[in-house]
Structure 1
Amino acid sequence: MTCEPVLEARYLGRFFSDRATQSERWIIKGLSFALHEGEFVTLVGPSGSGKSTLLNLLAQIDRPSAGEIRLHGEVISAPSRPGQSAGANGRIGYIMQDDNLLPWRTLRANVEYPLQIQGRLDASFRKRVDELIAAVGLNGFENHYPHELSGGMRKRASIIRTLAYDPPVILMDEPFGALDAESRLHIQEDLVRLWELGRKTILFVTHDITEAIALGDRTLTLTKSPACIRGEHLIDISRPRSVDSLVTEPNYPGIFSRIRAEV
Structure 2
Amino acid sequence: MTCAPVLEVRDLGKAFTDRGTQSERWIIRGLSFTLREGEFVTLVGPSGSGKSTLLNLLAQIDTPSAGDIRLHGEVISSPSQQGLNAGSQGRIGYIMQDDNLLPWRTLRANVEYPLEIQGRLDAPFRKRVDELIAAVGLSGFENHYPHELSGGMRKRASIIRTLAYDPPVILMDEPFSALDAESRLHIQNDLVRLWELGRKTILFVTHDITEAIALGDRTLTLTKSPASIRGEHLIDIPRPRSVDSLVTEPHYPGIFGRIRAEV
**The two structures share one fold, judged by TM-score above 0.5:** yes
TM-align CA RMSD: 0.6
Partner of 1:55: 55
Once the two structures are superposed, the pairs formed by residues 128-207 of structure 1 within 5 Å of their partners are 128-207=128-207
Partner of 1:4: 4
2: distance between equivalents of 1:116 and 1:187? 26
**2:102 maps to 1:102:** yes
Partner of 2:226: 226
CA contact (8 A) 2:92 2:167 kept: yes
CA contact (8 A) 1:92 1:168 kept: yes
Shift of 1:177: 0.1
CA contact (8 A) 1:96 1:172 kept: yes
Partner of 2:44: 44
Shift of 1:152: 0.1
1: distance between equivalents of 2:61 and 2:239? 34
Q: Which runs of 5+ in 1 are unaligned?
A: none
- What secondary structure sits across from 2:5 in the alignment? coil
Moved over 6 A (4+): none
Partner of 1:240: 240
Shift of 1:242: 1.0
Q: TM-score when scaled to structure 1?
A: 0.99
1: distance between equivalents of 2:211 and 2:177? 11
Give the number of aligned pairs: 263
Q: Which runs of 5+ in 2 are unaligned?
A: none
2: distance between equivalents of 1:22 and 1:118? 41
Partner of 1:122: 122
Q: TM-score when scaled to structure 2?
A: 0.99
2: distance between equivalents of 1:253 and 1:61? 37
Shift of 1:84: 3.4
What percentage of aligned pairs have identical amino acids? 89
Shift of 1:83: 3.7
CA contact (8 A) 1:2 1:37 kept: yes
Shift of 1:4: 3.5
**2:260 maps to 1:253:** no
Q: Counterpart of 1:132 in structure 2: which amino acid? A: L
1: distance between equivalents of 2:219 and 2:3? 19
